[in-house]
Amino acid sequence: MAKHHCAVVIPTKNAMPFLPKVINKVVNQRTPWTYEIIIIDSGSHDGTKEHLRGLDRVRLIEIAPQDFGHGKTRNLGVEAADADFVGFLTHDAEPADEYWLANLVAAAEQDPNIAGVFGRHVAYETASPFTKSDLDQHFEGFLHHPLVVHRDLDPARYEADEGWRQLLHFYSDNNSLMRKSVWERVPLPDVEFAEDQLWARSIIEAGYRKAYAPAAVVYHSHDYSFTEQLRRAFDESRNFEKYFGYRLSPDVGPALTAMGKLAVRAFQQNLDERYGKVTFKDRLERAAQRVALIAGHCLGANHEKLPRFLSERLSLDQRLFNA
């Protein structure tokens, strides 16, 4: 069989609430070239594997749950792909239209030095008004900068400005694409967190370019409970310090002040009417989620001062404590 121009790699685990619709959208992409679909399942027991085995267009790779790693498993998919470009989705990220994949590839083909591309996320219709607004604002922010970025845009700023470095290495494997020839030199790191952003930092520092494709859109969003947000923020903060040297809300006093301000803002903030009616329940959940975010960041930034049993209870990923 001739080499494909692109492959789409999707890791799955107990994905049935989302997967059939996601796969249907991927299968029906309109492209002028051929592409393959590779799914790597790590021990699903909800019918995911059985569903996938019945699909002609899907190439299924099965691994043991203990063999899963965010970077490691995606590297397995890229290695298996007989393609120039490899796109990534998560099993709960649904392409918004039939041009999602073509738009990612078109962004990469602008320049042979573009190693990676990330696309836009929009919230599911069922998401809270605040989640919808947050996602739109986040991705609209990238439109204020060049759509193709690289270290030489402003080398002095790259060295001195942490926010600029964060912008240059933002990358999300919920909706992304990489050039396989670059991956052969710079594979995804085998880490428990932020394999996508660490890879993006590596390619930026190796002199490659990264592109944003605002027309390559997926539906992907989460409305986290207080506890879910606290635990995710704890791991995020701990790992951003470990891998990037960023300390998120490290000081207790300012963190408490920020929690109070954000909780009050949740009850005062007016959203654009396109996000629908904001209920009291929405505001209450928003306040709790914002408090949990800052509290989790502060706890994560100070994790070395916490008793080990508490850190283990807070973390979603026990591998953090076996490293």
Give the count of beta carbons closer than 10 Å to the beta carbon of residue 27: 15
Residue 70 has a pLDDT of 92
User: According to CATH, what is the number of the domain 4-219?
Assistant: 3.90.550.10
Alpha helix (H) residue ranges in 147-279: 155-160, 162-169, 180-183, 195-205, 226-244, 252-268
Domain boundaries, the chain: 4-219, 226-321
Residue 317 has a pLDDT of 75
pLDDT tens column, 16-48: 989 999 999 999 999 999 999 999 999 999 999
Q: What is the mean pLDDT of the chain?
A: 94
Q: Is the pLDDT of residue 319 over 80?
A: no
Pairing status of strand 114-122 against strand 94-95: unpaired
Residue 323 has a pLDDT of 47
- Asked whether 88 and 176 are in contact (CB, 8 A), the reply is yes
Distance CA 245, CA 321 (A): 19
Main-chain dihedrals φ then ψ at residue 69, nearest 5 degrees: -150, 140
- Asked whether 186 and 75 are in contact (CB, 8 A), the reply is no
| Predicted TM-score (pTM) of this structure | 0.92
- Asked whether 14 and 91 are in contact (CB, 8 A), the reply is no
pLDDT tens column, 178-226: 999 999 999 999 987 889 999 999 999 999 999 999 999 999 999 999 9
Strand partners, 34: none
Element (H, E) at 228: helix 226-244
Total residues belonging to the chain: 323
Query: Mean pLDDT throughout 278-284?
Result: 96
Taking alpha carbons only, the member of 243, 244, 224 closest to residue 296 is: 224
pLDDT tens column, 78-110: 999 999 999 999 999 999 999 999 999 999 999
Distance (Å) of CA 298 to CA 26, 75, 162, 249, 305: 39, 33, 19, 5, 11
What is the longest distance spanned by two Cα atoms in the chain? 62
Four-residue CA torsion sign, 316, 217, 107, 181:
positive
